[in-house]
Amino acid sequence: MRNDGPRNILRRSLQVRHVDAGSCNGCESELAAITGPVYDAQRYGLDIVASPRHADVLTVSGPVTRQMAEALGRTHAAVGQPRLVVSVGDCAAGRCPFRGSYAAGEGVAAVLPVDAHIPGCPPAPAEIVQHLRALMRGPGPGQTAGQRG
């Protein structure tokens, strides 16, 4: 029996749980738009869910502030296997303007294994949908998980 892991399991449906780990809410506004009537991500099998226990992928925005680090870790642990982590926005990639302050962290990759990153400040809804759909397809031949799409 063929076993190609998350790529095969998640290719038709991807349930997303989002965590705001200290963002300015710009990334959330764009992410929230993906299930609206314009971008309609549900037609691709993508949806945003309220519980990490219903999710396949954890999207995270913001630099991961000290106050949010533990909650993010607990949410990640509550997502069943196989689970993927996607950092959303430049702050989540460690490029927060407040990086180095007493409260701001170094980005998602400093606390969780990140499978893919969606760049932008903030990324547009169409780009978010495009990246999540690429995640469903999985890495192509010769690509790593970080090169999906």
| Chain contacts with ligand SF4 (rule: CB under 6 A) | 23-24, 26-27, 61-62, 89-91, 121-122
Whole-number minimum distance, CB 116 to ligand SF4, in Å? 16
Angle (nearest 5°) at CA 94 between 78 and 121: 95
Tokens 């995640």 correspond to 135
Residue 138 CB, shortest distance to ligand SF4, in Å, is 26
Question: What length does the chain have?
Answer: 149
| Nearest to ligand SF4 of 89, 125 (CB atom) | 89
Q: What is the DSSP secondary structure assignment for residue 83, as one 8-state letter? A: -
**Contact at 8 Å (CB) between 134 and 127?**
no
- Separation CA 65–CA 74 (nearest Å): 15
Q: Rounded to the nearest whole angstrom, what is the least distance from the CB of residue 97 to ligand SF4 in the complex?
A: 7
Our CB check for ligand SF4 shows the closer of 59 and 75 to be 59
Q: Which residue number, 99 or 137, has a Cβ lying nearer to ligand SF4?
A: 99
Nearest CB to ligand SF4, comparing residues 28 and 56:
28
Closest approach, Cβ 122 to ligand SF4, in A, equals 4
Query: CA nearest 64: which of 128, 20, 117?
Result: 20
Task: Name the closest residue to ligand SF4 (Cβ).
Answer: 26
> Which CB, 6 or 62, lies closer to ligand SF4?
62
Cα-based distances in Å from 100 to 16, 30, 63, 95, 122: 29, 26, 10, 10, 21
Tell me how far, at minimum, the Cβ of 55 lies from ligand SF4, in Å: 20
